[in-house]
Structure 1
């Protein structure tokens, strides 16, 4: 009996205790995430306005780096160990989640646009599918964010430069190779790239250079993320004040002498008989072989359609909040622009600020604006008038009507100023007049993105090459490697191939370096380490490749004969590490994918139930709500408790619970006077919802068991690192003392 007799059980108990604590925290976090997702669905914030992150569950590992990388609160969450969209409406398209994903499981896409008639139909290279040579870039395509606009503008110019090189043509006198319409971020980027490639172009702008950014309030922080401007270089900061960015753009335009004409109002593009495009404006038309429309998306401010909205004290933008003091102000709108305006005006002395929004809660705000608004509401600097709608604007009053529970109740407010932020009318009409299609039927069918690789093929390919090289080497030196260990010292190659020999030592150093690179992935993933060199996807590729290569290097370092020594034990730990990593990779991705598949099915069934509930409430008032309440209560019960026994009990009684739910709803339906077909639809949908929820809970329990693979993998990694360090220390001491 030795001290190991007591240490090993203690370590086992400690590991089990940590696993149980983490599992309980995981279940608590899962419950909170599911509740938040349901709240988002009820409030409508789960739907993306335009762009949103699309998660490929076949690739998602559940590492959570995308959740940590997103600068907006609550867009993504971990559900059943995988990333899913929670508040899609909060996404502004930063794309940091896609950049940080180590397996390429996330892409930034437009939301559900199959039936939308305000998104232009474009090819993959941003060209109109109906007007050859006519490109769109920036917000007008449906994607917001300055960095995206800059990327679009650069991509359009690159494509045009390629076509001009492949198909040069003589143009008639006065015609240009490119006409850029708009001098916002997309238009400026396109203009800079065009100058870089020597394209003969002109840029037209109807307002101020800077586009939408020029209309932002004073000192508003513009989130750009680090971007690269052609001919200028990287804008390395993550944010600029509006004035800083405008000054930077003005300096670039003046320094490079970009041919920008302003003010020129765009009307439409006409395709001529000779194939060239004619840009019609309020002045002289411009003829060009290619046209890039970077018009932005806001266009003209959207009106409320109420009497008095054309009065002089009604404004649709706010440039300088400091100009307004000691005023009674009503701000109308529920987006970030409205909230930022209300907060800015509330900061000025003497102002009484009210914010009117037609819904019961804000679903599209950035997290920082939501926090500031909550604080302003608590300290009384901004009064919220939720579920209200403006009906008329007078000289010094505004009439509103309450919606929702107090539907029809009228309000009258005394005001000095009214600011309306109801969004903008996208420039659809001039685009349609130019021949661009907005018909959903013309939209190409979305296909799965197969362009991004997880890096697994490259990793396995590198390991395969290494294995083949080692196989060839051992075959060529089989006279040595086939010898018994006792006879090897007499072989002429022994001094070189033995672990301490030139080749053996080099392979050992290479194995240690590969192990260090393998651990570098963990450092790159960590939020505590500020270094962000290289993409996480590349580090993931290195992690997999080195994880499989290190055992091969160590085996060759040991001359194919690991012994019952510290070095040999390290080799066994490496094998366990590689095995648990490979097995866990697939087990731990399949189970969450299955669980989230049931959650998505549950969402679909909930939608069908909600639609049926609305239909039933029109003929049997109140019955539809009672059905939804009963189903939601049954779903909550299906998830069981926070420990294994209660969840196991929930699984065992699941079938009986479904039958009980069907019986209860059948009785209620008969009492309410529903006919047989309605009863069948109600009970069928309710049973489907209950089964989907129970199935998701069962898969979550199975995922809990699979978590043991991660613990085994981590403990194997820790033991392996310690064993290798000890092996190196012993080897160095042995060499130092001439052993």
Structure 2
């Protein structure tokens, strides 16, 4: 009965896992069609030779839908939702994830900067914050601090003390442009280092963050600021962060000037910069451009856009209660604005977006806006464009024609035009050829050879010890008490006892890894990678120490059973850590090949223009059916039947499609191309399915590993209690 229950539970769990994977594959395909599978700036790269599918990266990511587990390994689903938190990389215990910039070699929107954030070709000109391609507040703060400290280091190297400056000129050490996270952190670090500096901001204190909607969560990770220390909260809303920055700026008298715009930068003959601003000129030896990437708001260029009711940011949705409001845009800012306005009493909100579906937005925003469409708090006008803005109405052009809606206010949140042109005029290059070469993440292997080498060394040390005392360890157990080394090597004395205690301590250290990697981690210090290495090292060394402690004998006792359980534990752990990833990697490789084939099939259809739409639709449907039948059938028997009859069904389907194509007058070359891709798609899907079945069987290592661990701990506890009681009884007698 127990065996039957275990089998039923395993079958049900397997079916649920396959259902979840089907959903993941469908979501990946949808993301690929929408373009959200690719990152805008940063994205995680997963080394499939190392990933063992623990899922910690998925749980750690604060942005929903970026990662998921497919075929027992982490995969990127919606890469565009990644904003570079790097929590996935921090939490990966096997160092299988690296967060990197995408397509660096071709991109023309990333500045060419040195590792110290100095613009290549413009000595003394630095960049920090989002303009460098990194979006996080935490990263912007770190970069701003690094720039100020680099300027301070250079000043010390050149021996220019503050009192040695020319008295005839108001020369600054550093001019910071932008009072956002990077600019404020740069100013604090400059003040800490004794640099003469000024911060100019064309708008308001807080930079881009000040333009976010009310109560928007803008920081979700702890940071530390110069002169202030570690921030007391781990999460901050826009208002909380702005208030904190104002408090810090007042407390430390930061030299921030708002309402002063940067107009240009020129280099003088002495190497200093002459900075033109809306208020005149400033002379400085170094400049830090912390401008962000927002730039100027993108406009619609339609009649009526110059009306005062048209704005390009939303600060407080409560001020528009009871109004007719139009929000234009489909990004996160537009979605959040529409949701905020739709929550106000008697406010009629319409969202106009030029696409028919949302593109590259956060999962939670997409779910919330779809719910708002459903409950009527926001009216959807997808696939529409603003045609004209009137005093009390707005004209929208849709597929059904031009419609008019009542309107009191228009919010154009269609992104911004980055200040790249102005930056280029200041001396910043965006030429990919000038950027430092970026080392692309590569597959580094599972580390099996290194692990085997370490295990081999430990085993050789253990073997050398056994050979050194071979006369004792080769003797039968009942004769060992008569050998000279018995008191030294026996389990209850000297070396034997010391090895037992060391093995127990190794087990304790080994189990601490579980406390570090849990959802509610009791241990916070150290990286999971370091703890994983400790977990492996203590597992192997603890086993070998236990073997020496037991005198290289496995007896029918609690101690002997503990050694056996520990051996199973190490074997299943090694399978999961070093061997298991090969099969999931092969399955995921088939998935990637299948996606490539489907992209090629779609490309061929695009080359046909409007010719033979019925045949194209028919082929696409048949390919999808063949892939689904051979790939993701939930029933085991249906999967077995599909495998046995795959070739016959494929041959029959391709023959029918060929006859249909010939009957419709489709050129033979096109028929052959499409049917060839269909055959490859079917074969690839079957390959992925077979690898998935094998992976499903191999994945049992996790359960064996966990139950072996529980059994080992229980038996070890019995062994230790028995040994202590025996020692106490022997001492008393």
TM exceeds 0.5?
Answer: yes
Aligned to 2:370: 374
Q: Which shows bigger deviation, 490-499 or 133-142?
A: 490-499
Aligned to 2:333: 337
Q: Which shows bigger deviation, 319-328 or 665-674?
A: 665-674
Question: For 1:167 and 1:78, how far apart are their aligned partners in 2?
Answer: 54
Aligned to 1:651: 643
Residue 302 of structure 1: how far off its partner (Å): 0.7
1:359 aligns with one of 351, 355, 362: 355
Q: Does 1:703 align with 2:695?
A: yes
Q: Does 1:574 align with 2:551?
A: no
Residue 109 of structure 1: how far off its partner (Å): 2.2
* Aligned positions of 1:711-726 closer than 5 A: 711-726=703-718
* Aligned positions of 1:580-599 closer than 5 A: 580-599=572-591
Question: For 1:36 and 1:476, how far apart are their aligned partners in 2?
Answer: 61
Contact 1:354–1:384, Cα closer than 8 Å, also in 2: yes
Q: Which shows bigger deviation, 264-273 or 144-153?
A: 264-273
1:98 aligns with one of 70, 89, 112: 89
Question: For 1:705 and 1:255, how far apart are their aligned partners in 2?
Answer: 63
The change in CA–CA distance for 1:713 and 1:182 in structure 2 (over 3 A counts) is same
The change in CA–CA distance for 1:198 and 1:597 in structure 2 (over 3 A counts) is farther
The change in CA–CA distance for 1:75 and 1:570 in structure 2 (over 3 A counts) is same
CA displacement, residues 578-636 of structure 1 (integer Å, 9 cap, x when unaligned): 12221333332011111111211222222222122122133444443333223222211
Aligned to 2:605: 613
Unpaired segments of 5 or more residues in structure 2?
Answer: none
CA displacement, residues 670-729 of structure 1 (integer Å, 9 cap, x when unaligned): 334333332332223222222222221121112112113333323322322222122122
Question: For 2:13 and 2:157, how far apart are their aligned partners in 1?
Answer: 60
Q: Which shows bigger deviation, 505-514 or 524-533?
A: 524-533
Aligned to 1:135: 126
Aligned to 2:233: 237
TM-score computed with the length of structure 1 as normaliser:
0.90
Aligned to 1:497: 489
* Aligned positions of 1:382-401 closer than 5 A: 382-401=378-397
Contact 2:49–2:446, Cα closer than 8 Å, also in 1: no
CA displacement, residues 486-540 of structure 1 (integer Å, 9 cap, x when unaligned): 4543566544432222443333232222223222323333335565443322221
* Aligned positions of 1:189-268 closer than 5 A: 189-268=185-264
Residue 369 of structure 1: how far off its partner (Å): 2.8
Contact 1:218–1:242, Cα closer than 8 Å, also in 2: yes
Residue 85 of structure 1: how far off its partner (Å): 1.2
CA displacement, residues 249-305 of structure 1 (integer Å, 9 cap, x when unaligned): 122223233333333212333344444444332344444444321111111111012
Question: For 1:713 and 1:86, how far apart are their aligned partners in 2?
Answer: 29
CA displacement, residues 24-50 of structure 1 (integer Å, 9 cap, x when unaligned): 222121112112222222333323232
Contact 1:613–1:625, Cα closer than 8 Å, also in 2: no
The change in CA–CA distance for 1:713 and 1:195 in structure 2 (over 3 A counts) is same
* Aligned positions of 1:401-550 closer than 5 A: 401-402=397-398, 407=399, 409-443=401-435, 446-449=438-441, 481=473, 485-490=477-482, 494-527=486-519, 532-550=524-542
Q: Does 1:39 align with 2:35?
A: no
Contact 1:455–1:541, Cα closer than 8 Å, also in 2: no
Q: Does 1:24 align with 2:15?
A: yes
Question: For 1:452 and 1:663, how far apart are their aligned partners in 2?
Answer: 44
Contact 2:89–2:98, Cα closer than 8 Å, also in 1: yes
Q: Which shows bigger deviation, 340-349 or 475-484?
A: 475-484
1:122 aligns with one of 107, 113, 120: 113
- What SS does the corresponding residue of 2:608 show, helix, strand or coil? helix
Residue 466 of structure 1: how far off its partner (Å): 5.6
TM-score computed with the length of structure 2 as normaliser:
0.91
CA displacement, residues 405-454 of structure 1 (integer Å, 9 cap, x when unaligned): xx251111111111111011111111111232223454555433379998
Tell me how large the CA RMSD over aligned residues is: 3.0
Question: For 1:375 and 1:621, how far apart are their aligned partners in 2?
Answer: 35
Residue 388 of structure 1: how far off its partner (Å): 1.4
Aligned to 1:6: none
The change in CA–CA distance for 1:183 and 1:482 in structure 2 (over 3 A counts) is same
Residue 313 of structure 1: how far off its partner (Å): 0.7
User: Aligned pairs, how many?
Assistant: 726
Contact 2:49–2:445, Cα closer than 8 Å, also in 1: no
The change in CA–CA distance for 1:168 and 1:474 in structure 2 (over 3 A counts) is farther
Question: For 1:251 and 1:720, how far apart are their aligned partners in 2?
Answer: 56
The change in CA–CA distance for 1:279 and 1:455 in structure 2 (over 3 A counts) is farther
Question: For 2:523 and 2:386, how far apart are their aligned partners in 1?
Answer: 51
Q: Does 1:77 align with 2:73?
A: no
Aligned to 1:147: 138
Contact 1:149–1:185, Cα closer than 8 Å, also in 2: yes
Q: Does 1:56 align with 2:47?
A: yes
The change in CA–CA distance for 1:343 and 1:193 in structure 2 (over 3 A counts) is same
Question: For 1:504 and 1:42, how far apart are their aligned partners in 2?
Answer: 64
The change in CA–CA distance for 1:624 and 1:437 in structure 2 (over 3 A counts) is farther
Q: Does 1:316 align with 2:312?
A: yes
Residue 471 of structure 1: how far off its partner (Å): 5.9
Residue 63 of structure 1: how far off its partner (Å): 0.6
Unpaired segments of 5 or more residues in structure 1?
Answer: 1-9
